Amino acid sequence: MVSQEPLEKTPLHALHLELGARMVPFAGYDMPVQYPMGVMKEHLHTREKAGLFDVSHMGQVYLKPRSGNLADAAIALEKLAPVDLLGLKPGRQRYAFFTNEEGGILDDLMVANRGDHLLVIVNAACKDADLAHMKAYLSDLCEVETHFEDKALLALQGPKAEDVLAPLCPAVAEMKFMDVRACELMGVTCVISRSGYTGEDGFEISVPAEHADALARTLLAHEDCEAIGLGARDSLRLEAGLCLYGNDIDTTTTPVEASLVWGMQKARRPGGDREGGFPGADIVLQQLAEGAKRLRVGLKAEGRAPIRPPAKLYADDKGETEIGHVTSGGFGPSVGAPVAMGYVAADHAETGTTLYAEVRGKFLPVTITDTPFIKPTYKR
């Protein structure tokens, strides 16, 4: 069923229309899927130079400890996420995820230590549920402050991102991957992280909504920077082996099944200082110890035909033994070949294994491949 609710607009909506974007509904917002350049060229431009993405539909939440001690907010948030947040240093950011009582992923998010509060960036489609979740469990210890409307979020991605941003704030050149700091951009205080979701170096910029248009226009005026839509954002993150919530991870997939164990630090794992204590811990910790029955893997196809979800995966070319399915897939412009991710039975998940994807009645060979499909260029 198509929702009859009017679509929300980001602070850059008028700019998207001015730039000739093709707009589509996404997570309740009217969002640019591509510009006149087209998805393929937008993708390659981001890999080669710099692309500017409007990600203002995502939610920004401040968690402010009522005690004034940030450790209290970190410990409180750890009760919802199997991640070491107490050990997150000021000026640093960490990937995290909320789990449910079955160990499934409610949402994946970014958490930054801002000194006196935690900044939590949540996915657009989940932000209302995430906010209710945090208020229900954290309100006794934290003020849960939303910035859904008064803040915009821009992602500047690509090898030339620093060259584009540094003229406005030279200090960004000193930042490393996952650093977070406040910076004056065009006379306005913004919060900048050296992060993104493309596999490239780059920045995410939280800017007051009323200043977002002027900042975006200034960045786009740089010869190396172009506006990039959701289409290229999806192919870029897929090549980087990064999950899309609702496709590759959801409430039915655990962090272990999703191959996100790297996001669970030692302190929260078996034998760690703060082992467990999060929803679904018994299930997740058991999978860590014994292994999960299925795993998310990368897939490369022969030929040029993309393997798209929800294509079924089989152990044989006759389609007799089904062992999984595709969750994300398409043509990888930088790879020059189709790439995909999906879930397969653990005993068929070894790199190099040949499986068969059902595409329009044919069984096409695919090979399990390590992700990411491209070499990331994060500034370590």
Q: Annotated binding site for substrate: which residue ranges?
A: 204
Q: Is 229:35 a contact under the CB 8 Å cutoff?
A: yes
Q: What is the 3-state secondary structure (H, E, C) of 287-309?
A: HHHHCCCEEEEEEEECCCCCCCC
- Rounded Cα gap, residues 377 and 31, in angstroms: 27
Question: What residue has token string 């993405």?
Answer: 53
C-beta separation of 314 from 322 below 8 A: yes
Cα distances (Å, whole numbers) of residue 167 to 12, 185, 210, 222, 225: 22, 9, 21, 10, 13
Token pair in block for residue 219: 């960045």
Using DSSP, state whether 234 is helix, strand or coil: helix
What's the burial of 378, exposed, middle or buried (CB within 10 Å: 0-12/13-18/19+)? middle
Per-residue tokens: 163: 């060259």
Give the C-alpha distances (Å, rounded to integers) separating 144 from 20, 61, 127.
38, 7, 13
Q: Cα separation of 107 and 122, whole Å? A: 7
Binding site: what residues are annotated?
204
Which is nearest to 205 in space by CA: 229, 186, 221? 186
Give the DSSP letter of residue 83: S
Q: In this structure, are residues 229 and 34 in contact, taking their beta carbons and an 8 Å threshold?
A: yes
Cβ atoms 35, 17 nearer than 8 A = no
